Chain A
Amino acid sequence: MSASEEPVRFTGIRRAEQNLVTGEDATAGCPSGDAGMPGSGSGCKLSRRSLLGGAAAVGAAAAASAAALEVFGGSAKPAAADTSSTAGSSSSGPAHQWAMVLDLRNCDGCKACTMACQQRHSLWPSQEWIKVYTMTTAAGGTYHMARPCQMCEDPPCLYVCPVGATFRTDEGLVLVDQDACIGCRTCMAACPYEARYFNWGDPKPAAKIPGMPRSPDWPVPQVKDTVGKCVWCADRLPKGELPACVAGCPMGVIYIGDLTTDVAINGLGNVVRLSEFIRDNDGVRFQEEYGTSPRVWYIPGHGQDLNSDSATA
């Protein structure tokens, strides 16, 4: 799927500034270190209203993948979540807190996610913004793990960037302004997940799309001698559309979710209650020991331990 074929309704860029009016960051009350799971523990306060909204959304959206709009209260139509909770969740912070869940039990390592991403963002084959590793368990079995940017709540890549070219939106997305990046690559040194890819030469040419100039949400084409990384298709999320990898995964491994409404949906249209899904399936986060508080949860299969199994590229 190339960008030009999409039903583009690009209504504008959601930026950190835009959400400043909505007040505090929802994550501020949610020290993820202690809970380790959205919606669980006392530290993370999800309002009853947003939970209800989420529940309504689960009911309303279970039908098809296009229902992502309703799940996240997309801008095009009033979503079930919004109509059922008249005040909306905006009183408690930004409208969304994006999260991802990868259900590794279904991953067959086909790399469709990688290819969908590379096609959408016009990337060279070596720029695997979502990269699929082959893992080997202690017992010798193998499985696959896809690694998008973990959208850390405590992103080391952001702290070390000397000019603030890396920033974090109120909705929890860590993005790069490639028109400001000086190309020092300190962020590549700092990221424990090796999620950053530099443009060491000319970027892959991309067809210009009218009305979609390059921005941190839509970093296409890439900029020579600056750093790029997975953006969770930040341009699509506000429109209620699924990121390319989520839509492109034929096995429905990747769920995009929202901690505020506590729902997540995959490319097959399966909608789940985010916190329950993670809790019931023993979801874990990758390399938590670095204190980055990733926004990505993995659901490993039986006998698989993401954090000690050895990986190969």
Chain B
Amino acid sequence: MADVTQREQSGDGYGDGDGNGNGNGNGNGYSHGDGYGHGDGHGDGDGGLRALAMRPVLRPGRWWAPTVGVLALIVAWGVAAWVVQYHRGLGSAGYNDHAFWAIYIADVVTFIGVSYGGAVVSAILRLTGAEWRAPLTRIAEGTAVVTVLIGGAFIFPHLGRPERILELIYRPNLSSPIFWDFVAVSTYAFASMVFFYLPLIPDLADAADRVTAAGRPRLGRLYRLVSWRWRATPAQRRILSGSVGLVAIMIIPLAVSVHSVLSWAFALTSRPWWHESIWAPYFVVAALYSGIALVIVIVALFRKLYGLQALIGERHFVRLGFILAPFGAAYLYLTLADFLPGGYVGDHGVAAVFSSVLVGRYAIGFWLFVVGGCIAPLLVIAIPRLRHTRQIVAAAVLVDLALWLKRMIMVVAPANYGRISGLFGSYHFTWISVSVTLAGVAAIPLLLLLLFRVVPILSVAEIEELAHAEQQVHIPSPAVIPAPTPVGVNTRRQPSDLLGRPATFDIAPETP
């Protein structure tokens, strides 16, 4: 983190010193205004912002290829493990008749859950007009797309006969919650892609010439193709912002439906602890909680990788933390509301499962989740002295790990419980199930690195528009959260992010 501080302190430009050893790589032509600004009336002064947004596409740095290689190897290893599992049978992933659902369905729920966070953070911030969102939305929406695809892919190792999956289309049973899952997740996945794509149009139109000039003519042609002759005319702008708003509204109930339906795959059976009316909202809140946490983690990661500290500062993390906290509190509350009635009455099966979770064989995992996944993150955000980037990111990592653990327990405990005998079976991890799951984790940064290799990582048009709007109404700078008393390494941090100083780019008045 020391190098980050160093860089922020210098606060001069984005063309150098990304902390990854390729500091000089960017000192070439395209940061000097090579004509990409035409058509929308902007001058060259915003070259910094554009260079920053396009750097992952044009010059990601020397670390990029090895990192992608390593991540791809992990994913390939996971895929190979899955092939082995397919040949040996699901038992090789640790499954048995008393653990018929386990790790992969927990992975499905976890990955599709975190996707929700990316989509909804972006949607809500758009709908509420939160200006500070601008540098985050692209990363958040990209995360949503990538994670829902990974989560959907976990259906394949989950199924015993994945090659028959098309039966869901040509001979579906409409009364099955699994079929509803299929419909809801596919719809949501499609919507999240649209949500990612729409705000991308102006940026791609804008960047087409730039990538062509930088020696990527085919990418330039692709940009022009998918940006539909965008010329930023007032009519086009009106249509685009209307559509983005509409999709932002639609994606919220869509995502709610996805996580409700996912919970019903469990709650529509008569198993103790699965058969709970609270599970649908419980899943929705869990998805939001873990999803916002993942946005924090991914934003922190890419901020560091691509040197976005000038745009994304501590205040972004603090604000995301403020969004995260109520969901953490709500999840803790729902956990209590979930356990108390069943535990109080002590119905046969429910009592057995609850005691296994609260004081029995799953208790370590459960209390780890409560302390590490709920209480500790809440404290980090509640206590001003702890409320700093690094701690918030660490808390977010904890949230995601703990929520995966929680899902594992929610899946495995009721599946383990023998409903006639009252005895518990057991599930054990195998190298196969662990490899496949880790492949899913590695696939998140891998796919995002690849994604931002083809599209700009920042929503340039949005950042400019918001900064422009600010200038027009003569607001000197957006409200900045009062800086907490800096401690430690943060002491020397300077508020150098662009939103704090909108005049950093020289925005010319718009020409009609």
User: Which A positions have Cβ atoms within 8 angstroms of B?
Assistant: 126, 133, 147, 156, 159-165, 180-186, 188-190, 192-194, 197-202, 224-226, 290, 310-313
Most buried by A among B160, B164, B421: B160
Shortest distance from the beta carbon of A32 to any chain B beta carbon, whole Å: 18
Taking CB as reference atom, which chain A residue is nearest B411?
A189
B96 at the interface (CB under 8 A from A): yes
> Could you tell me if B420 and A197 are in contact, using CB atoms closer than 8 angstroms?
no
Bound Cα distance from A185 to B14, whole angstroms: 53
The answer to whether B101 and A198 touch across the interface, beta carbons within 8 angstroms, is no
CB–CB B97/A180 < 8 A = no
User: Which chain A residues border B422 with CB–CB below 8 Å?
Assistant: 310-312
> With A147-B420, A156-B270, A183-B160 as given contacts, are A162 and B89 in contact (CB-CB < 8 Å)?
no
Interchain nearest-CB distance for A69 vs B (Å): 34
CB contacts under 8 Å to A, within B147-198, are: 158-162, 164-165, 167-168, 171-173, 175-179, 182
> Do A184 and B158 have beta carbons less than 8 Å apart?
yes
Q: Which residues of A contact B89 (CB under 8 A)?
A: 199-202, 224-225
* B101–A225 touching, CB < 8 Å: no
Contact of A182 among B88, B101, B160, B265 (CB under 8 A): B160
Given contacts A201-B91, A201-B92, A202-B89, contact A160 B418 (CB under 8 A): no
Contacts of B268 in A (CB 8 A): 160, 190
Q: Across the interface, do A311 and B420 meet the contact criterion of CB distance under 8 Å? A: yes
Binding site for A on B (CB under 8 A): 88-92, 95-97, 100-101, 158-162, 164-165, 167-168, 171-173, 175-179, 182, 265-266, 268-271, 274, 415, 418-423
Q: Are B421 and A311 in contact (CB under 8 A)?
A: yes
Name the residue among B165, B175, B176, B177 with the largest chain A CB count within 10 angstroms.
B176
Residues in B with CB closer than 8 Å to A194 are: 97, 418-420
Bound Cα distance from A202 to B178, whole angstroms:
26
List residues of chain B with CB within 8 A of the CB of A313: 418, 420-421, 423
Q: How far is B99's CA from A185's CA once the two chains are assembled, in angstroms?
A: 10
Assess the B266–A162 pair: CB atoms within 8 A. no
B65 to chain A, nearest CB (A): 38
Contact call B95/A200, Cβ cutoff below 8 A? yes
Residues of A close to B415: CB separation below 8 A: 189
Give 8 CB contacts A-B under 8 Å.
A162-B172, A181-B164, A182-B168, A188-B97, A188-B100, A189-B101, A197-B97, A198-B160
Give chain B's interface secondary structure class. loop
Q: Is the CB of A164 within 8 A of B265?
A: no
| CB-based nearest A residue for B93 | A200
Instruction: Note all chain A residues with C-beta closer than 8 A to B159.
Output: 182-184
The docked-state distance in angstroms from the alpha carbon of A139 to that of B421 is 18
Given A163-B168, A163-B171, A182 and B161 touching (CB < 8 A)? yes
Contact between chains at B176 and A160 (CB < 8 Å) = yes
Q: B421, A189: Cβ atoms under 8 Å? A: no
- Measured between beta carbons, the chain B residues less than 8 angstroms from A162 are 167-168, 172-173, 176, 178-179, 182
Q: How far is the CB of B122 from chain A (nearest CB, A)?
A: 31
Within the assembled complex, what's the spacing in Å between the Cα atoms of A190 and B275? 10
Q: How far is the CA of A259 from the CA of B168 in the complex (A)?
A: 35
A224-B269 Cα distance, complex, nearest whole Å:
25
Of B168, B178, B265, B421, the residue contacting A312 (CB under 8 A) is B421
B161: A residues at CB distance < 8 A: 181-183, 225-226
- B180, closest chain A residue (CB): A162
- Interface pair B175/A159, CB less than 8 Å apart: yes
CA distance A173 to B367 in the complex (A): 45
Q: Are B178 and A190 in contact (CB under 8 A)?
A: no
Q: A186-B265, A200-B91 are in contact. Are A161 and B421 (CB under 8 A)?
A: no
- Among B88, B100, B179, the most chain A Cβ lie within 10 Å of the Cβ of B100
**How far apart are the CA atoms of A311 and B159 in the complex, in Å?**
31
| Shortest CB distance A30–B (Å) | 22
Cα–Cα distance between A83 and B144 once the two chains are bound (Å):
70
A180 touches B167 (CB 8 A): yes
Complex contacts, A188 vs chain B, CB 8 Å: 97, 100
Contact A164 B420 (CB under 8 A): no
Measured CA separation A161–B164 after assembly (Å):
14
Contact check, A186 vs B176: say whether CB atoms are below 8 A apart: yes
Report the Cα distance A163→B165, complex, angstroms: 9
Give every chain A residue within 8 A of B96 (Cβ-Cβ): 200
Chain B: CB-nearest residue to A189: B269
Taking the closest CB of chain A, its distance from the CB of B347, in whole angstroms, is 11
A156-B270, A182-B162, A194-B419 given; 16 more Cβ-contact pairs under 8 Å: A126-B97, A133-B420, A159-B176, A162-B178, A183-B159, A184-B158, A184-B159, A186-B265, A188-B100, A198-B95, A198-B97, A201-B90, A201-B92, A226-B161, A290-B270, A311-B421
B37 to chain A: closest CB distance in Å?
53
Closest to B274 in A: A189
- Name the contact of B178 in the complex, choosing from A184, A200, A225 (C-beta under 8 A): A184
CA of A201 to CA of B176, assembled, Å: 26
Chain A residue at minimal CB-CB distance from B421: A313
CB distance from B345 to the nearest CB of A (A): 15
Give Cα A201–Cα B159 distance, bound, in whole angstroms. 13
Q: Which of A126, A161, A185, A194 counts the most chain B CB atoms within 10 A? A: A185
Cα A160 to Cα B270 in complex, Å, equals: 12
The complex places the Cα of A192 from the Cα of B179 at a distance, in Å, of 21
Please name all residues of chain B whose beta carbon is closer than 8 Å to the beta carbon of A189 when the two chains form the complex: 100-101, 266, 269, 271, 274, 415
**Distance between Cα atoms of A185 and B100 in the complex (Å):** 7
Give A307 Cβ to nearest chain B Cβ, in Å.
Answer: 11
Q: Which of A156, A163, A310, A311 contacts B173 (CB 8 A)?
A: A163
Chain A residues whose C-beta falls within 8 Å of the C-beta of B421 in the assembled complex: 133, 311-313
| Nearest-neighbor residue (CB-CB) of B165 within chain A | A182
Task: Tell me whether B100 and A198 are in contact (CB under 8 A).
Answer: yes
A164 neighbours in B (Cβ, 8 Å): 171-173
Complex contact B171–A180 (CB within 8 A): yes
Contacts of A312 in B (CB 8 A): 421-423
Report chain B residues within 8 Å CB of A311.
420-422
Contact A200 B90 (CB under 8 A): yes
Q: Judging by beta carbons under 8 Å apart, are B178 and A186 in contact?
A: yes
Nearest B residue (CB) for A160: B176
